[in-house]
Structure formats: C-alpha cells, structure tokens
Structure 1
C-alpha cells in the first residue's frame, strides 16, 4: 500500500476538461459530468447505513473532495466477486449468497477513492484510501436509493461497469 509520503496525482477534473463525479448522500445519487460537458449521467446508489462521517472504523461514507486513485476489474465478467480487490474467480449468484451469507459483496468493478482534504478525509484517523472506500458493484437484489453500505458507494453492476468505462484514475469525486 502506498505510504502517506507519496504525492497524489493532480486531479484531472480541476478545469472541467475531464470527467468528474458528484455523490449526493441525501438523494442517494451519483452524477457523472463527462468531458464534453454537454450532459450529465445520474445513477442511483446506496451509501453508508451509518450516514456520513470520516472517522476510521465508523462505517460511514466520507464527505468532501476525493479522486479515483485506482481502478480494479477491467475486463472481468459482470458480477465477478472481489475480495481484497482481487477477483476470486466466482460469479455472484443467489446460490453463492446462500453459501456465504456473511460476505459484504464487492462485485464487477472497483473505483478506489483517495481523499484530498488533509485532516478531513486524508491522513491519520480519517483517510478514505486507508479505509478502503470504493465505488463498487453490489448484488442487483440490494436496494438502491437507500443507505445500506458499510461506508462505500454501492451501485448496480451494469451501472458501475458503465461508469468504469467513462472515467480514469485521477477523476475527481465530490461527496456531499
């Protein structure tokens, strides 16, 4: 894992010349503002059951400015299961869910977020990257539009695959 001494890349959306993402916790939506800025794309999401918050081990979704630090899963099949950001070779199904009822399913794609605000979502006790805050797929049976996650931003699998194809590392993410 990178140390805190590694400088983050400069976010590529500062001037509006690249895609940017805004996550609205109250509305439970993720909006992508594409490079061409002609229109936006909105997706329903599910954020933390515990609400907003930045503290380590809080189970909350961190607020503020972030960027996509890493993207994981390009090319794996829809509904592929990840554990510790590695595909397990499994594809999610109702049978698999019954076999492993305790799993917090991370499926299809992962966009790993890194905070940009020192002391708020970056640094000791509040670091979004070290908290493993992702935008990721979840079983399509899980409700969207209602807070249910452990801190991450959950999306429908087809939606997270679509989003993944439209962004790149460095894309800014504002969570409000």
Structure 2
C-alpha cells in the first residue's frame, strides 16, 4: 500500500541534526506524529556513535547488530562519502534467495561470491556490496531528501560486506554495513517502508 503524503515539516534537532541523545520513546512518538502513513511500532534505529543498529518493536529492542557507518563521518551531501542522518524508509529489498557472500553490482547479482575478511586490518580490493541490500530513501526534505542531499539518489544502502573485521568502527563509503549472516536475518525481519532512523548519540 502506498504511504500517505507527508507534509514538508522541518525535523526537530534530535532527528535532523542527529546530535542529541536518542530516546526510543521520543523517537517513536515523533515518527507517529510526523509520518502517520507508516507503521511506527516497528523501526530501525542506527546509532552511528556506538556503531550499532537496533530493531525496535512495540517500544522494545527485539534485535541488535554491530555495523559500520562511513569512515568520513556523518553527512548527507552528494559526493561526501558520508552516512546521512535523519529518518529514512526502506524503499526496496534486493537479493532474496542469494547465497551468503553474493556480490552485487548496480543491485544485480554478479554470480560471484566474496571472500569474507575477518581481520580488523584486512582490506578488500573493492567496495563490495554483498548478500542483501536494503535501499534507503530519505524522508526529510533538505536533510536527506531532494537536491544534493538525496539518500536514494546517493544509493545509500544497508548491506552485507566482505570486510566483516572492520565492523564496529566507521569504515564504509556512506552505506551502513552489516555482517552477511546478520543482514540475511534483518532482511527477513523487516518490510519495505519500514522506517530507519540514523542518529549520533552524545556520550
């Protein structure tokens, strides 16, 4: 079902600036108010400071995974190689049925299988997208939607990586990386149009 049209409201600092401590209850209420056309009893919360992603269901953490956001930090501008903050939705799920480690190029399964690197200093020869893809679409005009800050046009994904040893610290070129088995699990637990909130929490 198509989501309801969303009013072009300015995001509050905790969401758009992504620089205030995240509170699950606050975020859930904010999502319900600003995005009434979407289910807000289940959403993903990406904490770029802790390098973790949580699945929130009915106000509780029902899943948690280690991730990698961008090596160059947080930001939405095209060409920045940074991870965009704010509210997104899963626009498309790609790769159902692909084997673990399958390498995707331009969202197409190449038929090749990546060698999974588990050492913290091991570098892949390519920025491989592996196993599953959750393609994100920004929901906040001027923050991660439209113009030079559009997450969807920047091809920002949640995806598997062959550099699993680097998970737990910033390492990507803008996307949100996961272990291959973890992204397979996540893929099966969330639907298209699930909201994804990317924040950086103060410690």
Q: Which TM-score band (shorter chain)?
A: 0.7 to 0.9
The alpha-carbon deviation at position 102 of structure 1 amounts to 3.9
1:31 to 32, 50, 54: 54
How far is the alpha carbon of 1:163 from its aligned partner? Answer: 0.3
Residue 58 to residue 125, structure 1, CA distance change in 2 (3 Å): same
Q: Among residues 3, 21, 27, which one is paired with 1:9 in the alignment? A: 3
Aligned equivalents of 2:109, 2:44: Cα separation in 1 = 25
1:1-176 to structure 2, matched below 5 A, reads: 9-10=3-4, 12-14=38-40, 16=41, 19-34=42-57, 39-93=61-115, 102-139=125-162, 141-176=164-199
Q: Higher helix fraction: Structure 1 or Structure 2?
A: 2
Residues 54 and 61 of structure 2 are in contact (CA less than 8 Å); yes or no, is this contact kept in structure 1? no
How many residues in Structure 1 have an aligned counterpart in Structure 2?
A: 160
TM-score by length of 1: 0.85
Aligned Cα RMSD in Å? 1.8
Contact 2:102–2:109 under 8 Å retained in 1: yes
Q: Distance in 2 between matches of 1:141 and 1:41?
A: 19
Give the TM-score, by structure 2 length.
0.74
Q: Check whether the contact 1:140–1:157 (CA below 8 A) recurs between aligned residues.
A: no
Q: In the aligned structure 2, how far is the partner of 1:119 from the partner of 1:39?
A: 30
Unaligned segments of structure 1, at least 5 residues: 1-7, 95-100
Paired residue secondary structure (2:147): coil
Mapped to 2, the partners of 1:61 and 1:159 lie a distance apart of 20
Q: How far apart in 1 are the matches of 2:158 and 2:165?
A: 15
